[in-house]
Amino acid sequence: MGEDNSFIIAGPPPLQPIPDTSLGKLIYEKLLESLDKSDALVDAVTGQSLSYKEILAATCSLANSLIKSGYGRNTIVTICSENCKQFFIPVIAALYIGAVIAPINHNYTKTEMIHCLNISKPTVVFCSRQVCGKFIDLKKKLEFIDRIITIDGDSRVGEVESLDSLIKNCLRGSTSSYECPMAEVPIGEQVAFIMCSSGTTGLPKGVMITHLNVIAKFMQNNDPRYQNQQGGRCTFGVLPFYHSYGMFVSLNSIYRKIKIVVVKRFEENVFLSTIEKYRITSLSLVPPLAVFLAKSPLVKDYDLSSVTEVSCGAAPLSKNIEEILKNKLKIKSVRQAYGLTETTIGVVGMPLGCEKFGSSGKVLPYMLCKIRNPDTGESLGPNQIGELCFKGPVIMKGYYDNEQATRESFTPDGWLLTGDLAYYDNEEYFYVVDRLKELIKYKGFQVAPAELEALLLTNPKIRDAAVVGVPDENAGELPLAFVVTDSGAVLTEVEVKQFIEGRVSSPKRLRGGVIFTTAIPKNPSGKILRRELRQLLRKNKSKL
C-alpha cells in the first residue's frame, strides 16, 4: 500500500521568512551588533568570562588562521571537550569558512572514538587537555587527522598546538580584529554539522545537519508564540555541548544574546549554587535533572527564585515530576518538547501560556507532521497511536556516507520516520507514548541494545544475549542484559557487568542488572523479541 497523506498537521504560519544566508554569516553579523554587550559565556567555577566582542575577535582570527593553513569549505573539524567557555570558538570559526563540525563525546573510550572518527574522518581536531592524550595516540592510527589543537591550553606542547597561540599569532598580522573570510554556501545543501546518533543497528551514525536546518531552528526560537523574547535572560550551560540538545540550544543563546553560565559536568551542589549565584532565569533540562530538582532535599538550601522558565526534552517527563517541579520552583509551567538529532532537536513544543500535562506540545512553525501506521503507511487521525513523521526545513539531509540508512529513514515521498509512537488529541497536542526503535534512553543518552549485545557475545562464556531498558524514574531507563551462558561455563552478574564496564562509556553500563536465562526469544528471521523479554522481566520482578 502507498503512502496516505490525508491527515497532516501543520505548524502555525511562520512570522518571518528563513534568511537566505549562511549560518556563519548570520552569527557573524549578530556578533557585530553585540560589541557593546558584556558576558556571553561565563565559567561558573572560576567566574572567568568571554564577551561577545572577544568571541567575535577570536573566531575571526581562528577562521583566518584555518584559511591560511589551507582549510576551508567542506574541511571536517572535530570538537571533543567537556563544556568550557572556549568550546564554541572553533565551532563558529568553522561555520564562517564553510567547514563541517563533527562533535564527539569526550567520555567515549578509544574504541568508540575510533568508530565515530572513522565516520567523518576529520582533518583537524580541537580538544581539551583532558582528552588530548587520547588523540595523540589516535593520530598515529588514523592517517586522516592532520592537526590537534587544545582549546583550553595557552601554549604548544610538542605536536599539539593551542587555540590561544593560533589566535594570538593571527592577530599580530591583522589590520582589523573583525576581518573574516566568509564562505558562500548553498544553505540547504551545505552540511554544517555531522552529529553522532545511534540507530537500531547499534552503532552511531553521522547525522548531516545543514546550515538551513540550524537557521530554521533559530527562526523557530525567535517566535514569541513559543519562546520568551525578553532581554536580560541567563541560561545554564550544563547540557553537554557535543550533544545536539546542548549544541543547538547554546548556539541559539549566543545568537540571541542570552548569557550562558557554563559548568564542565553536573555536580549536585555546583548545579544548585550556580543557579543561585548567577541568578539563572532559564533552565533547559533532561528528565534526570528535572527529577533531581523535584526530589532532592538539597534544593531547599538554595535560593532558586530567579528561575522563571523550565523546558525539558530528550525523553518524556512524567506528569508527577512536572507538577512537583512547577510547584517547587513556583513557576507557571514546565514546558516539554519533542525532537531528535535528525530534526535539529525540537519539532514539537508547548506554546507559551499553554499547559497540558504529559504533552510535548504542538507542531512548531515551518513544520508538517503526521501520525502513520508503520505497517500500512496509512495516515491516522486524532487519538490514534502511530509513528511520528515530519517534513520541513529542520529535517536532516541524511546520514553521512550511509545512503542505505538514509533511504530507510524516509518514506518514498520524503517524510522522516522518527521511530517514535505518539498520538495527538482533538486540539492537536502531541503525546509520545513509546518507541518503535529499540534504543534505551539513559539520562537523555541513547544506548543501542545491539551494540551491547555484540560486546556480550565476545565473551567466550556467553552463548547468547539480549539487552532491554528497565524503567527508572531518575535515569529514564537502565540497560539490563539477559544472558545465556555456554554449556558448563560459570559466570556471575558482577563479572558480566565488569566485562561491559571496561569496554563502554558510562551511559552504556548494565545498571539495570543481569538475568541469566536458558534461551533468548526470537522470531523466525532471528530478530530478538524484546516484548517477550520485558514480560519475562515483569515475572522475574513479581517473584522478588
Residues 431, 465: one domain? no
> Quick check: is 347 in a domain?
yes
Q: What is the dihedral of CA 242, 139, 454, 417, to 10 degrees?
A: 40
pLDDT at 490: 92
- Taking alpha carbons only, the member of 236, 62, 246, 84 closest to residue 161 is 62
> Quick check: is 519 in a domain?
yes
> Quick check: is 218 in a domain?
yes
Cell numbers 526470537 correspond to: 522
pLDDT at 365: 97
Q: What is the CATH number of the domain that holds 466?
A: 3.30.300.30
**The three cell numbers locating residue 152:** 583550553
Over residues 2-60, the pLDDT tens digits come to: 567 789 999 999 999 999 999 999 999 999 998 876 899 999 999 999 999 999 999 99
Residues 451, 430: one domain? no
> For 230-255, what is the mean pLDDT?
91
Residue 321 to residues 12, 44, 215, 296, 312, Cα–Cα distance (Å): 29, 27, 33, 12, 11
Residues 392, 499: one domain? no
Residues 388, 280: one domain? yes
Residues 217, 295: one domain? yes
Residues 430, 474: one domain? no
Kindly report the length of the chain: 544
pLDDT at 524: 47
> Quick check: is 317 in a domain?
yes
Residues 482, 499: one domain? yes
Phi, psi of 485 (to 5 degrees): -85, 155
Q: Which of 46-55, 178-187, 255-264 has the lowest mean pLDDT?
A: 178-187
Number of domains in the chain: 2
> Quick check: is 308 in a domain?
yes
Q: Cβ-count burial of 54 within 10 angstroms (0-12 exposed, 13-18 middle, 19+ buried)?
A: middle
pLDDT at 453: 86
> Quick check: is 63 in a domain?
no
Q: Between these two residues, 307 and 321, which has the higher pLDDT value? A: 307
Residues 497, 534: one domain? yes
> Quick check: is 75 in a domain?
no
pLDDT band at 276 (very low <50, low <70, confident <90, very high): very high
Contact 349, 335 (CB under 8 A): yes
- Taking alpha carbons only, the member of 309, 299, 312, 351 closest to residue 332 is 309
pLDDT band at 527 (very low <50, low <70, confident <90, very high): low
> Quick check: is 89 in a domain?
no
> For 136-164, what is the mean pLDDT?
88
Residues 431, 458: one domain? no
Average pLDDT, the chain: 89
Helix, strand or coil, per DSSP, at residue 460: coil
Over residues 84-125, the pLDDT tens digits come to: 999 999 999 999 999 999 999 998 888 889 999 999 999 999
Contact 157, 66 (CB under 8 A): no
Q: Are strands 204-210 and 398-399 parallel, antiparallel or unpaired?
A: antiparallel
Residues 299, 379: one domain? yes
Residues 379, 456: one domain? no
Distance CA 470, CA 164 (A): 45
> For 476-491, what is the mean pLDDT?
91
Q: Between these two residues, 69 and 170, which has the higher pLDDT value? A: 69
What is the Cβ-side half-sphere exposure of residue 119, based on CA atoms within 13 angstroms? 27
Residues 246, 332: one domain? yes
Q: Which domain range does residue 276 map to?
A: 8-21+212-399+414-437
